[in-house]
Amino acid sequence: MTKALEDAFRAASQLPEAKQDELAAAIQAELEAEEAWDESLKRSQPALADLAEEALSEYRAGKTKLLDEDEG
């Protein structure tokens, strides 16, 4: 565990129990969301690879154009 995390937990341990439980739930939810995001990204890799290949094929075929940042 890093010093920063130890410091945060030490500070959190001074909170009332109800606040500690809220913080614990928020941390757990964040960890679960991160895991879900990683899994979703992993599952989407084949589709993203297909889209990237399609975009490259269109570029190579001259079917694309540069974006004009000044053009709205």
Domain edges within the chain: 3-60
Instruction: Please answer whether residues 58 and 64 qualify as being in contact, where contact means their C-beta atoms are separated by less than 8 angstroms.
Output: yes
Q: What is the pLDDT of residues 40-53, one digit of tens each?
A: 999 999 999 999 99
Q: What is the pLDDT of residue 41?
A: 92
CA 10 to chain centre: 27
pLDDT band at 67 (very low <50, low <70, confident <90, very high): confident
Q: What is the pLDDT of residues 11-59, one digit of tens each?
A: 999 999 999 999 999 999 999 999 999 999 999 999 999 999 999 999 9
How many Å is the Cα radius of gyration of the chain? 23
Q: What is the pLDDT of residue 69?
A: 75
pTM: 0.60
